[in-house]
Structure 1
C-alpha cells in the first residue's frame, strides 16, 4: 500500500497543540507520512513559545492526500491574508482526498474559499466569525461534510485525528491508535465548554481573550469583503 501523504500547515504563532495532538494520532500507522509545511525550513515559534521544525516548504511539498490547517494566535490574522499560503491550499485541495482543519484553522480554509457551502466547526469563541465567511457553522467536536473534516478548539485535535484516521485506515486502526495513546478522557473539571463552565469563568476568559478576538474580527471582516468581491 502506498503511503498516505498528510501535511500540516505550520506558521509563526500557530497553536502547537492544534498541530501536535492530531499529528500524534495520524503519525502512528506505518502507512502514513506526515509533513510539517511552511515557507522555509528554519524553525518557527508557536503561540506558546515551542519551536517547530518544518519538513517541507510550500514549493516542494508533495501532492497531499490530507491537508490540515491548525489555528493560531494573533499571527493567524496575517495568514488569512497571505496569498502565497492561500494559493498553496487551493492548489493542494484540487487533488487532496480530505481538506481539514483544527480550531480556527477553518477560518484559514474559509479565507482560501475552501469551506463556503460546507458545514464546519471551530473554537467556540470564533463561531460567529467563521459564519461571517460564508460557512455553515455546526457546534460539534468534529464535523464531517463530504471531504471536509474540521475539529473544534485545540484539544479536539485528538478526536479529529481519530475520526480522520478511521476514514483513512479503518475503524480498527483508529481504535488501536486510541489504545496506544491511552486516550480515555476524564477531566478534573467540567468546564471544557461555555455550556458547562460557570458563567463567571466564561466572562473572565472572554475578557482575557478580547484583544485576540478583536484582531481576528478585523481580518475576518476584510476577508469576508474580499470573498464577496470574488463572488
Structure 2
C-alpha cells in the first residue's frame, strides 16, 4: 500500500459506536491510510448510547474513497430511508475499491444496490433481511465476496478490519496491529452467538430486538417496492 489509501467511514445518528470505533482502531493504524469520518451533514452526531462524534465531514464534500465502511445501529433504518444520504453512499460505494460494512451497516449497502447477488453478513438477528435486497445471507463472522467485505454484529467489526488490514498491508502488519490493540478475545461467557447462548437468553434478546426487526422489515419492504 505505497500510495495514500483513502478510507471513508460513513456514519449517521444513533449508530452503534463500536461498529465504527472497532474498525477505526484497526484501519487508522495502516501505513499511508487517510481516514475520513463523514456524515450526511457533517458537524456533530450522537451514537445510540449518547457518545458524540464531532468535526465530521459532510458526505457531499468527500470526493472519492478507496474503501468505505458503514457501521450498523438503531439509526440504520432512518439512514436507509434518507434519499440524500443513500445517494452519497451509492456514489462513494460505486467508486470504491473495497465496500465494507459492520453489523446492520450491510443493510445500507443492500439498500444502495451494492449487494445484489453478493454473499453478505450482518447481525444474526437481522441477517436474513439481506435477501430482500437480493443478497445471499451468510452466517460467518467475516464474509468476503469480491470487493465486498461484511460480517457479523458489533465486535465482528474488529475481525472484519483485521481481514482488510491483511489484504491491504499483509498478514504481518495485520498481526502487529492485533498485538498493538491486544485483541485476544477470552469472554467470560460463551454466549456471543445464538447457537451458543442458552435458549432463555436468546429469547430475551430476540424480544428486545423485535421492534427493531419489525421497523427494518417494513422499511426494506417500502424500499424494494419502489424498485
TM-score (norm 1): 0.94
Specify the alignment match of 2:28 in structure 1.
Answer: 27
The C-alpha deviation readout for 1:182-219, integer Å capped at 9, x for no partner, is 11110000000000000000001111121111111210
Q: RMSD of the alignment, in Å?
A: 1.1
Map 1:117-136; keep pairs closer than 5 Å. 117-136=117-136
Task: Determine whether 1:18 maps to 2:19.
Answer: yes
Equivalent pairs counted in the alignment come to 226
Map 1:45-194; keep pairs closer than 5 Å. 45-73=46-74, 75-194=75-194
Work out the CA distance in 1 between the residues paired with 2:219 and 2:199: 28
Displacement, 1:54?
Answer: 4.5
Work out the CA distance in 1 between the residues paired with 2:203 and 2:14: 25
Point out 4+ residue stretches in structure 1 off by more than 4 angstroms.
none
Displacement, 1:55?
Answer: 3.0
Work out the CA distance in 1 between the residues paired with 2:94 and 2:138: 24
Instruction: Name the stretch that deviates more: 34-43 or 179-188.
Output: 34-43
1:10–1:54 CA contact under 8 A, matched in 2: no
Work out the CA distance in 2 between the residues paired with 1:32 and 1:80: 28
Q: Secondary structure at the match of 1:17?
A: helix
Work out the CA distance in 1 between the residues paired with 2:109 and 2:188: 33
Q: Secondary structure at the match of 2:65?
A: coil
Work out the CA distance in 1 between the residues paired with 2:49 and 2:146: 33
1:103–1:152 CA contact under 8 A, matched in 2: yes
Unpaired runs of 5+ residues, structure 2, are none
2:124–2:152 CA contact under 8 A, matched in 1: yes
Displacement, 1:95?
Answer: 2.3
2:42–2:59 CA contact under 8 A, matched in 1: no
2:98–2:149 CA contact under 8 A, matched in 1: yes
Displacement, 1:172?
Answer: 1.2
Work out the CA distance in 2 between the residues paired with 1:101 and 1:33: 18
Specify the alignment match of 1:39 in structure 2.
Answer: 40
